[in-house]
């Protein structure tokens, strides 16, 4: 008989364990903004940086919408005092 955990996976699929790099990068991203990580530590290998940035990106659609904007700011510059229109 199949174990209950294996019953949740599609037939013929296996789940590979998460890498230590991903676990550590996710924990760092949960606690510190990437900018603070860059400022605090002198040398961060490129693969580690990429994984921290990956895990720093919001996962829920609500968070993505909250931090995203279609406004490029060009309209604001044209109408701002002292902007190109002045």
Residue 34's domain spans which residues? 20-69
User: Based on the structure, what is the number of domains in the chain?
Assistant: 1
Q: Answer whether residue 5 is part of any domain.
A: no
DSSP H helical ranges for the chain: 4-7, 20-31, 34-40, 46-56, 61-67, 74-79
Q: Answer whether residue 36 is part of any domain.
A: yes
Region for residue 11 given its phi and psi (left: phi exceeds 0; alpha: psi -120 to 50; beta: otherwise): beta
Q: Answer whether residue 1 is part of any domain.
A: no
Average pLDDT score over residue span 34-62: 88
Count CB atoms within 10 A of the CB of residue 52. 22
Average pLDDT score over residue span 47-57: 90
| Per-residue model confidence (pLDDT) at position 63 | 75
Whether residue 38 is predicted with pLDDT greater than 70 in this model: the reply is: yes
Q: Answer whether residue 53 is part of any domain.
A: yes
Q: Which of 27, 24, 17 is nearest to 45 (CA)?
A: 24
Average pLDDT score over residue span 60-71: 71
Q: Answer whether residue 41 is part of any domain.
A: yes
- The confidence band for 21, taking pLDDT boundaries of 50, 70 and 90, is very high
Instruction: Decide: 24 and 52 in contact? Cβ < 8 Å.
Output: no
Q: Answer whether residue 76 is part of any domain.
A: no
Q: Taking the complete model, does pTM exceed 0.85, yes or no?
A: no
Q: Answer whether residue 50 is part of any domain.
A: yes
């Amino acid at each position: 008989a199949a174990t209950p955990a294996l019953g949740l996976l599609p037939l013929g699929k296996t789940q590979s364990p998460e890498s230590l790099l991903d676990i550590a990068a996710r924990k760092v991203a949960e606690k510190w903004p990437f900018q603070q990580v860059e400022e605090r530590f002198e040398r961060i290998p490129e693969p580690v940086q990429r994984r921290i940035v990956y895990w720093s990106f919001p996962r829920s659609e609500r968070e993505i919408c909250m931090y995203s904007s279609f406004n490029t700011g060009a309209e604001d510059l044209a109408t701002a005092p002292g902007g190109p229109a002045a």
